Structure 1
Amino acid sequence: MIERSRNSVIIIGGGASGVILTAHLLRSTDPGLRVTLVERRDSFGKGMAYSTILPDHLLNVAATNMSAFPDDPGHYWRWLVENRLVAANAGPVYTPRGIYGRYLEHVLATCVERESATGRLRLVKQECIGVATTQGGVEARLADGTSLVGHVVVLATGHDEAPATDQNFALRVGSAEDTPLDPDARVLVLGTGLSMADAWLTLQHRGHKGEVVAVSRRGLLPWPHQKGNPIKLDSADIPLGTELSYFVDWFHKLVRETEKAGGNWRDVVDGLRPFNQRIWQNWPATAKRRFLEHTKAWWDIHRHRMAPQIHAKVSEAVRSGRLRLLAARVLDTQPDGDHGRKVRLLPRRSRETETLHVGRVYDCTGIVKDVSTGSIAVIRSLTDRGLARPDPLRLGLDVTPDCAVIDASGSVSDRLFAVGPLTRGTFFEIDAVPDIRNQTARLAGRLTQQSAPGFR
């Protein structure tokens, strides 16, 4: 069965990116607009990031900067206050991610209520397994055998939830394979960033008592947020398009100058934030590759910081020995007993290997993987058929700065678009809501042929 609609945008993925894009599209007054939001999960809005119910799984962005709308920055904060989840005069607040999931559900529910009489919005709970271009537009094939036909498809599938293919011995926390574990067993976590902190907090919530070893190439823990005063920069102040070494030298000099003036490195990192995507896009390919190989781990711990209270808990666990951070790489692993694994590691700056016997290995290595070999069926189908291709660094799909998908021959599509983490090869920093809301507002403006809200 094929269902048709007019002036239609089909959004594949009903997590944060998909819901925020839906809300921006429906700000259009076009009565002929049709938006279909497709989500394989049981609920819309939460996705992987905001499905957690643990109160210690906090946002790493303050609530005052988490509105879904760039032209209404207080939207989330007002919702928190109206629902008595925070006090109106509270200081910097990092709310649980589960609460933010409820907020996204509210944003979508508002759209549903507003559009109930217009028929402009439809929610479909199905997995999209493929997309094809047609003479008149696009066809999205669903797992139940039906199809949706429209003019445009926007891919908003978010992060791949499966571990990388070279780490199939590891599990994702909260996955179906994450079955009950001996509370005294040693656990190995691949990664030492924000995802690792979430995994450790989950284990503590379950009452786990065994040692947790977190390993990454440099063994670095993200810094905590602190109140600061971001420096004011103009694009003319920033050395765009230079090689990485020149840019890093410039950055270090700027930090030293800021510290002499009474500030600190956070003020520089936060002052650069509005320009991060432009910096990435203007770097030559050699600079991007060197950044990923040598600088990204250092940048991540300064740029993607922890909520202060979570940093305090994790730091105390390190001091007490309940959590061990290890700078090393995994050489090999093999089964050990009925359910455990034997993992051989090579610590950084050492020639002596270390072997760990662990009850479980969790994958918290982040988002860098080849989307063409990932577990998201619709993305794999598109790349297999040449309708899309990975970006040159294989961080996501290859898209233009306008979010249009580029196919295997290098042609730019006028029917396929992508938003959110799928576009990290072009935008790099496109995981946080402040970046996603700007990106989706611009794309909504383009698709509805209006100025995007907040960018007039």
Structure 2
Amino acid sequence: MNNASPLPVVIVGGGFSGAMLAARLAERGRASVLIERGDGVGLGVAYSTPLDAHRLNVRAGRMGAVADRPGGFIDWLKTHHPAQADPNSFAPRRLYGLYVRDRLAAVEADRPGAIRRVKGQAITVESQTVILSSGERIEGRAVVLATGNPAPRTTGADQGGRVISDPWAPDALTPIQPGDDVLILGAGLTMVDVLLSLTAQGWRGRATAVSRRGLLPHAHGVKHDAPIDLPPEALAGPLSARLSAARRLAKAHGWRRVMESYRPITLDLWRAATDAERARFLRHLRPWWDVHRHRIAPQIAAELDQILGEDRLAVRAGRIRAVKTSAASVALRLTTRDKAEQTLSASWLIDCTGPGHDVTTAPLTAGLIAEGRARLAASRLGLDLDEAGRVLHADGAADPDLYVLGPPARAAFWETVAVPDIRQRIEALTDLLAR
């Protein structure tokens, strides 16, 4: 290898973002150290599921891990699982995890020594050195925080045994019996995954999902929806005017085609927005954006419809006021949209509110903020970053050696959760770090 520097890039987090960045750096002749606290390098939360019922939310033909090779996943499926190699399908996430791990292993075999794996918990970043909980210090030429999606934080972990604060923890749902009723905080993608997991283990009880708006995820169409040409009034001007234009287009062409049209330019629109405009979007439009943009596979939507049709799922809109547990049940007090007080009870409460990103309390980032090496973005979605993903210091200066990649970078890039978006960021960051 012809490294410009003998020091590697240190990557904190070995999920999709971190693993595929390490692979791309190796392919460009740059060494890295990949730090992951668990055993599932390349998987993260999304692709570590063993259930084939948990499917991708993007069509398989667009899920290649490399930006200029979107069909890479289909090529892998043709070799290893040909029955699943339909570009229009939504393949099991389990298979995608195997694909990511195979790609990483192939790069490691082709470029011995380019990627060093380290199992450990990163707790501090000092200059270009990452310090692990074991005391080990790993020095690099740059540090990339690719820590993925943390567990939900709504209920906390101290509510008693009837509250499942992290539904993705190993065996978290095992105690739930087939006839138990459950309360679910959140009505989005995590809630759908949890219902599928419960169904797979024989659960036949009833669930009540509670969220601020009471919105369920929408489904993809049977076929890919072609984008349309967006007129100027849908791209510029006040947010209210752009929203009105988008609604008119949706009535004329269908909302899926409109969302597909916005997808390639979402980053540009987010970057161009002022802090006030971003705040208005997050306060008023985000729930509707999420359910239309982050859609579920048609077969998953059919399963959800069946559960609804069996009267085993109810959705309530309201604001959570209190959670009270006992030895055998849990009660949730909420204020409904019409200001009424209501108390719901069940055998279990499951927190499905989604990733609990809070850089002010996570040890790794809280320390950076405390020392002035990082600051919270105005949107409060995460650390403040520049357009290259560099962390901004308290005074606004970009740190030349510290980057954020993947879901934790959403304050700067907004859409940075799905593979097609993350792989673009990986390519841009690889270009920067491989210079």
Q: Distance in 2 between matches of 1:105 and 1:371?
A: 28
What's the counterpart of residue 109 of structure 2? 113
Q: Cα deviation per residue 1:275-310 (whole Å; 9 max; x = unaligned)?
A: 011111212222211211111111111111110000
- The offset of 1:179, in angstroms, is 5.3
Q: Distance in 2 between matches of 1:53 and 1:229?
A: 30
1:251-266 alignment, distance < 5 Å: 251-256=246-251, 259=252, 263-266=253-256
- The offset of 1:430, in angstroms, is 0.4
Q: Distance in 2 between matches of 1:168 and 1:194?
A: 24
Matched, 1:204 2:204: no
Q: 1:363 to 1:65 in 2, by over 3 A?
A: same
Structure 1 residue identity aligned to 2:130: A
- The offset of 1:120, in angstroms, is 2.1
Contact 2:57 2:296 in 1 (8 A): yes
What's the counterpart of residue 296 of structure 2? 306
- The offset of 1:273, in angstroms, is 0.4
Contact 1:243 1:284 in 2 (8 A): no
Structure 2 residue identity aligned to 1:105: R
Contact 2:333 2:343 in 1 (8 A): yes
Q: Distance in 2 between matches of 1:193 and 1:320?
A: 20
Q: Distance in 1 between matches of 2:345 and 2:432?
A: 54
Q: Distance in 2 between matches of 1:303 and 1:273?
A: 8
Structure 1 residue identity aligned to 2:420: P
Contact 2:152 2:353 in 1 (8 A): no
Contact 2:40 2:48 in 1 (8 A): no
Q: Cα deviation per residue 1:5-63 (whole Å; 9 max; x = unaligned)?
A: 8242000000000011112212214xxx3211111011210011111001111111010
Matched, 1:126 2:120: yes
1:179-328 alignment, distance < 5 Å: 180-226=175-221, 227-233=223-229, 238-240=234-236, 242-256=237-251, 259=252, 263-328=253-318
Can you give the 5+ residue segments of structure 2 that lack an aligned partner in the other structure?
Answer: none
> Secondary structure, in 3 states, of the residue corresponding to 1:104?
helix
Q: Distance in 1 between matches of 2:383 and 2:158?
A: 23
Q: 1:164 to 1:415 in 2, by over 3 A?
A: farther
What's the counterpart of residue 45 of structure 1? 42
Q: 1:220 to 1:237 in 2, by over 3 A?
A: same
What's the counterpart of residue 31 of structure 2? 34
Contact 1:9 1:34 in 2 (8 A): yes
- The offset of 1:408, in angstroms, is 2.2
Structure 1 residue identity aligned to 2:26: L
Matched, 1:102 2:91: no
Q: Which of the residues 342, 361, 369 maps onto 1:373?
A: 361
Instruction: Identify which range, 288-297 or 430-439, moves more after superposition.
Output: 288-297
Q: Cα deviation per residue 1:398-443 (whole Å; 9 max; x = unaligned)?
A: 1111000112232210010011011101111100000000001001
Structure 2 residue identity aligned to 1:305: R
Q: Which of the residues 411, 414, 430 maps onto 1:444?
A: 430
- The offset of 1:250, in angstroms, is 2.1
Structure 2 residue identity aligned to 1:308: P
Q: Distance in 2 between matches of 1:327 and 1:114?
A: 53
- The offset of 1:344, in angstroms, is 1.0
Matched, 1:346 2:342: no
Q: Distance in 2 between matches of 1:438 and 1:254?
A: 28
Matched, 1:386 2:372: yes
- The offset of 1:145, in angstroms, is 1.3
What's the counterpart of residue 22 of structure 2? 22
Contact 2:190 2:352 in 1 (8 A): yes
- The offset of 1:321, in angstroms, is 0.8
TM-score, L = length of structure 2: 0.92
- The offset of 1:186, in angstroms, is 1.8
Q: Cα deviation per residue 1:130-158 (whole Å; 9 max; x = unaligned)?
A: 1111xxxx111012211111110000001
- The offset of 1:346, in angstroms, is 2.0
> Secondary structure, in 3 states, of the residue corresponding to 2:417?
coil
> Secondary structure, in 3 states, of the residue corresponding to 1:131?
strand
Q: Cα deviation per residue 1:364-396 (whole Å; 9 max; x = unaligned)?
A: 11236432124xx32233233332222111112
Q: Distance in 2 between matches of 1:445 and 1:197?
A: 37
Structure 2 residue identity aligned to 1:218: R
1:130-149 alignment, distance < 5 Å: 130-133=124-127, 138-149=128-139
Matched, 1:73 2:70: yes
Q: 1:422 to 1:87 in 2, by over 3 A?
A: closer
What's the counterpart of residue 453 of structure 1? none
Q: 1:172 to 1:368 in 2, by over 3 A?
A: closer
- The offset of 1:252, in angstroms, is 1.6
Can you give the 5+ residue segments of structure 1 that lack an aligned partner in the other structure?
Answer: 450-456
Q: Distance in 2 between matches of 1:87 and 1:104?
A: 16
- The offset of 1:239, in angstroms, is 2.5
> Secondary structure, in 3 states, of the residue corresponding to 2:420?
helix
Q: Cα deviation per residue 1:192-217 (whole Å; 9 max; x = unaligned)?
A: 11111001111111222221111111
Structure 2 residue identity aligned to 1:212: A
Q: 1:412 to 1:225 in 2, by over 3 A?
A: same
Instruction: Identify which range, 45-54 or 243-252, moves more after superposition.
Output: 243-252
Sequence identity of aligned pairs in percent?
36
TM-score, L = length of structure 1: 0.88
Instruction: Identify which range, 160-169 or 357-366, moves more after superposition.
Output: 160-169
Q: Distance in 2 between matches of 1:306 and 1:317?
A: 15
Q: Distance in 2 between matches of 1:400 and 1:363?
A: 33
Q: Distance in 2 between matches of 1:128 and 1:160?
A: 14
Structure 1 residue identity aligned to 2:8: S
What's the counterpart of residue 452 of structure 1? none
Q: 1:56 to 1:283 in 2, by over 3 A?
A: same
